[in-house]
A = this chain, B = another copy of it.
Amino acid sequence: MTPEDVAGMQRFKVGELVVDSGTPILMEGSNSPQLFTTLHGMGLRYRHLENGERQVINFVFPGDFLGLQAGLMGEMGHSVEATTKMTLCVFDRSELWSFIKADPERGFELAWLSAVEEHFMGESLTTVGQRTAIQAIAWMFVRIYLRSEATGISENNAMRFPFKQKDIADALGLSLVHTNKTISILKSRQLLGWSGDEIQIHDLSALAKIGLTTLGKPKTRPIM
C-alpha cells in the first residue's frame, strides 16, 4: 500500500490486540464488528462440517487481512484461529464504509485483496481435487515457502512453521497417517526437513516439479 493508504489505515485503526496460541479470532457465520491485520504470529483459517470434519482453508501469515468477508458480506465463511501467539492490528468494521468513501481507490484495494484470496483458493481447490497425496504435499510446501519469502519471514531456505501434520492433512483432504507417510518420503529424498517448528526447503524446484507447479512471480497490484 502507498504511504497515504497507511496514513488512512492509521486513522482507521482502533488498537492492537495480542492473543495467545489457540485463541479463536473469528467464527464462521459470525458478523464480527472488527477486522484485523496480522502483525506477528501465525494462524489458521478453517471450516467445519456437520460431521465434525475440518477443512483448513489457508494458513495465516503476517500481513494477512482477517475478517474481510464479514466486512463485505456480513458473515464469515470460515473461522480463524491463532496457532502461535499473535499480534493483530484492529480496525472497526463500522468504519469500513467511510474508509472507502474517503478514497474510491480503497474500495478497489479491498476488491483486489478479495480477488487474491479467491485466486489462491482456486489453486487449493485444484490441488485437493486433482493432485495425488505426494503432489499435493509438495505443492503445499512450495506455496508456503514462497509466501514466507514474500513476507520476509524466511532465511536460509528455512522458516518457522508452528503447524501440526494434522493441519496439513486437513488442508489437503488427506488422513493424518497418510500425510505423515507421504511427508517422510519427501524427507527421505532430502527435499525438505521438518523438526520442531521449523522447516527447511532443501530443493524447491524439485518440490515444484513433483507438485506440478511453477515458481512463478508473486503478483503485485496492477497500476490502473
Query: A177–B90 Cα gap in the complex (Å)?
Result: 50
A181 within 8 A of B: no
**Given the complex of chains A and B, what is the CA–CA distance between A49 and B108 in angstroms?**
30
For A122, list chain B residues within 8 Å (CB): 47, 57, 77-78, 121
Identity of the chain B residue whose Cβ is nearest the Cβ of A96 in the assembled complex: B224
A128 B73 Cβ-Cβ under 8 A: no
Nearest-CB residue, chain B, relative to A28: B122
Q: Which of B55, B69, B115 contacts A73 (CB 8 A)?
A: B115
The answer, yes or no, to whether A100 is at the interface (CB within 8 Å) is: yes
| CB <8 Å contact, B69 and A212 | no
A-B contact pairs, 23 of them (CB 8 A): A47-B122, A49-B126, A55-B126, A57-B125, A68-B115, A69-B115, A69-B119, A72-B108, A72-B111, A73-B112, A74-B222, A77-B118, A78-B122, A96-B224, A107-B111, A110-B111, A111-B111, A118-B118, A121-B121, A125-B128, A128-B129, A129-B170, A129-B172
A97 to B107, CA, bound (A): 11
What residues of chain A have their CB less than 8 Å away from a CB belonging to chain B?
47, 49-51, 53-55, 57, 68-69, 72-75, 77-78, 96-97, 100-101, 103-108, 110-119, 121-126, 128-131, 170-173, 212-213, 219, 221-222, 224
Query: How far in angstroms is the closest Cβ of chain B from A94?
Result: 8
Cα(A51)–Cα(B132), bound, Å: 11
In the bound complex, what is the Cα–Cα distance between A108 and B110 (angstroms)? 8
Give bound CA distance, A53 to B135, whole Å. Answer: 13
Assuming A173-B128, A219-B75, is B118 touching A69 (CB within 8 A)?
yes
Contact A222 B73 (CB under 8 A): yes
Q: What is the CA–CA distance of A49 and B123 in the complex, to the nearest angstrom?
A: 10
A104 to nearest B CB, angstroms?
4
**A132 → chain B, closest Cβ, in Å?**
10
Residues of B within 8 A of A114 (CB): 111, 114-115, 118
The residue in chain B whose Cβ has the minimal distance to the Cβ of A121 is B121
A160 and B212 CA atoms in complex are apart in Å by 36
